Amino acid sequence: MDDIAKSAFENRPGLDVGTEGEFKGWLTWKRDAFETHTGPFWHRMEADGTIRSAFRVEKKHLNSGKIVHGGCFMAFADYCLFAAASPIMDGSGLTVAFACEFIDAAREGELVEGFVEVTRAGGSLIFLRGVLKSDQRTLLTFSSTIKRNKRRARA
């Protein structure tokens, strides 16, 4: 990853840095009330420039079957998409398409990690695909399209 993309990743608005525990030094957004309530979800840039996202499963993430609720997986996958796209976003965006397949379950205490690949980035649309894993187990696969928000000139 080049220095411009790394700078864009590290200088996004609304970022908060973890100060303790297993996610010390990891990043999260505090500007999104839903993700803050649902998470906490975290991400960081690895030495090779890839973005790694993660969360530790808590009781609040579980459904009545005592496994992670599918909606939680989907919310985290969406978080992973924006973490991975942030170095190339140049502003905000929104999810316009999202498809997923539930492969396996996660339980309280497990570490769930998200890995996303940008398959194509055009002028207004970014296409991505990813996977959520716990250890080597695949939990969820997904693909998505993000639409970049156009910056409007102030009147």
CB-CB contact of 54 with 76 (8 Å): no
Burial 16-54 (b: 16+ CB within 10 A, else e): eeeeeeebeebbbbeebeebeebbbbbbbbeeeeebbbb
CATH number at residue 56: 3.10.129.10
For residue 34, give its domain range.
3-148
**What are 44-76's pLDDT values in tens digits?**
999 998 999 999 999 999 999 999 999 999 999
> Per the domain annotation, does 114 fall within a domain?
yes
**What are 105-130's pLDDT values in tens digits?**
999 999 999 999 999 999 899 999 99
DSSP state of 62: B
Residue-averaged pLDDT of the chain: 88
pTM of the model: 0.87
> Per the domain annotation, does 97 fall within a domain?
yes
**What are 71-106's pLDDT values in tens digits?**
999 999 999 999 999 888 877 889 999 999 999 999
CB-CB contact of 4 with 11 (8 Å): no
> Per the domain annotation, does 155 fall within a domain?
no
Number of domains in the chain: 1
> Per the domain annotation, does 154 fall within a domain?
no
